[in-house]
């Protein structure tokens, strides 16, 4: 049946009256909420809406104005996503983004993205953020992202919106994170079981205890202690800044000065891949001369046959995006009352061919 021409007189209540249900049921059905409404009811309500020519956008401006006058939160079906400035350079953030989008798009939510950078302020955020048109926020940033949103809420007199952090635990908001400690433990245990003792890592010393790198270090140390080895004797700290190219070059130089180091715990896969390539240019073979492992399972290190040789830990990035989006929508709708929920997802060691027993 062809849809009727939309008129302002066709409202959600009109659809509800025709179907003999409540307006909230119509709202849930039109958003595809299978947890609250059966598929049969959803199909019936959507068919009625098409027959009546109902358009949810026609009365949205009046709806927003009425809600604001009553000092009530307006639902815009939009979620903001704050990412680091370098998000477009790696597969890592792409997988998080896709995971969130796969949840939000079927529910007719827009995902509005912005990136953060050094010295960014609330005034630098997109106007749609500042106009209170975002229902909830997802973060993939350290604590500065949360502080930035808090500054924006206060500066512009906005309603404080639900916020869920991915990968990082940020004080004052919920988080969906991988098991960072276990990731570090699995990689260190794998190298130690092969016979490596002197291993290079990339954990700075001045980071908070809940930071992913700090949690990895706890895992490294646990693996050493289980083998009655002192991690302070064997773990060698490497350089980690923002420029991956210069960092990798510095790591190669450091390894040249420390021949006792036989393995490297790279901070992420892309770093490991670059390191393997640069070591090859210096005549060092992986894993015959030195073992290198990555972390996240998003990038490859190819051998001459085009095979990915990189041993790594698989981070459930797509699943983290899924769970974070589901959680923030439950918080925005009021279904989830807690605003400080932490979900931890498991990780998995992926053994390939970039690590082997050290040469005697």
Do 155 and 237 lie in a common domain? no
Whether residue 240 is predicted with pLDDT greater than 80 in this model: the reply is no
String of DSSP letters for 252-291: HHHHHH-TT--EEE-SSHHHHHHHHHHHHHTT--TTTT-E
Do 41 and 161 lie in a common domain? no
Distance of alpha carbon 334 from alpha carbon 325, whole angstroms: 14
Whether residue 71 is predicted with pLDDT greater than 70 in this model: the reply is no
Distance of alpha carbon 325 from alpha carbon 279, whole angstroms: 40
CB 238 within 8 A of CB 303: no
What secondary structure letter does DSSP report for 194?
T
Do 191 and 311 lie in a common domain? yes
Residue 105 pLDDT? 95
Do 92 and 153 lie in a common domain? yes
With both helix axes pointing from N to C terminus, report the angle between 317-333 and 91-104 in degrees, rounded to the nearest 10.
40
Do 184 and 296 lie in a common domain? yes
CB 261 within 8 A of CB 251: no
Whether residue 205 is predicted with pLDDT greater than 90 in this model: the reply is no
Do 83 and 161 lie in a common domain? yes
As for how many domains the chain has, the answer is: 3
CB 283 within 8 A of CB 325: no
Do 192 and 306 lie in a common domain? yes
CB 146 within 8 A of CB 208: no
Does the bond joining 287 to the residue before it have cis omega, within 30 degrees of 0? yes
In a domain, 334, yes or no: yes
Residue 72 pLDDT? 55
In a domain, 3, yes or no: no
Do 225 and 278 lie in a common domain? yes
Distance of alpha carbon 186 from alpha carbon 79, whole angstroms: 35
331, containing H or E segment: helix 317-333
Do 186 and 222 lie in a common domain? yes
pLDDT digits (tens, 9 = 90+) for 119-162: 899 999 999 998 888 999 999 977 678 889 999 989 888 888 99
Please identify, among 24, 52, 69, the residue that sits at the C-terminal boundary of a domain: 69
Q: What is the CATH number of the domain that holds 27?
A: 1.10.260
Q: What is the CATH number of the domain that holds 207?
A: 3.40.50.2300
Do 305 and 266 lie in a common domain? yes
In a domain, 330, yes or no: yes
Mean pLDDT of the chain: 89
Question: What domain range includes position 40?
Answer: 12-69
Residue 223 pLDDT? 99
In a domain, 357, yes or no: no
- Among residues 318, 251, 266, the alpha carbon closest in space to that of 91 is found at 318
Distance of alpha carbon 265 from alpha carbon 294, whole angstroms: 6
Distance of alpha carbon 284 from alpha carbon 214, whole angstroms: 30
Whether residue 115 is predicted with pLDDT greater than 50 in this model: the reply is yes
Do 241 and 290 lie in a common domain? yes
69-108 per-residue burial string, b: 16 or more CB within 10 A, e: under 16: eeeeeeebebbbbbbbeebeebebbbbbbebbbebbeeee
249-268 per-residue burial string, b: 16 or more CB within 10 A, e: under 16: eebeebbeeeeebbbbbbbb
Going by pLDDT thresholds of 50, 70 and 90, the confidence category of residue 216 is very high
Do 116 and 169 lie in a common domain? yes
Summarize the confidence of residues 261-276 as an average pLDDT: 96
């Amino acid at each position: 049946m062809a849809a009727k021409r939309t008129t302002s007189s066709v409202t959600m209540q009109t659809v509800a009256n025709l179907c003999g249900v409540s307006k909230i049921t119509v709202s849930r059905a039109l958003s595809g909420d299978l947890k609250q409404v059966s598929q049969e009811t959803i199909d019936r309500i959507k068919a009625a809406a098409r027959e009546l020519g109902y358009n949810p956008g026609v009365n949205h401006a009046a709806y927003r104005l009425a809600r604001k006058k009553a000092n009530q939160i307006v639902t815009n079906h939009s979620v903001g996503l704050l990412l680091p400035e370098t998000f477009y350079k790696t597969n890592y953030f792409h997988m998080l983004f896709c995971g969130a989008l796969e949840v939000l798009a079927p529910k007719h939510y827009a995902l509005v993205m912005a990136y953060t950078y050094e010295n960014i302020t609330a005034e630098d955020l997109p106007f749609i953020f500042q106009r209170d048109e975002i229902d909830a926020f997802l973060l993939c940033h350290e604590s500065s992202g949360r502080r930035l949103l808090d500054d924006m809420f206060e500066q512009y007199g906005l309603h404080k919106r639900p916020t869920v952090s991915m990968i990082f635990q940020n004080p004052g908001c919920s988080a969906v994170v991988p098991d960072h400690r276990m990731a570090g433990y699995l990689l260190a245990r794998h190298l130690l079981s092969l016979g490596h003792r002197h291993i290079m890592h990339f954990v700075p010393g001045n980071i908070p205890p809940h930071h992913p790198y700090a949690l990895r270090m706890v895992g490294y140390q646990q693996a050493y202690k289980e083998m009655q080895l002192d991690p302070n004797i064997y773990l060698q700290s490497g350089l980690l800044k923002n420029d991956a190219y210069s960092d990798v070059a510095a790591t190669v130089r450091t390894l040249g000065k420390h021949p006792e180091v036989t393995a490297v715990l790279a901070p992420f896969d892309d770093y490991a891949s670059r390191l393997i390539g640069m070591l090859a240019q210096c005549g060092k073979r992986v894993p015959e001369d030195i073992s290198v492992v990555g972390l996240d399972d998003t990038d490859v290190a190819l051998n001459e046959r085009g095979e990915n040789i990189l041993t790594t830990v698989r981070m459930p990035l797509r699943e983290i995006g899924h769970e974070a989006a589901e959680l923030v929508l439950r918080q925005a709708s009021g279904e989830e009352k807690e605003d400080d929920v932490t979900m931890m997802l498991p990780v998995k060691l992926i053994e390939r061919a970039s690590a082997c027993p050290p040469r005697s």
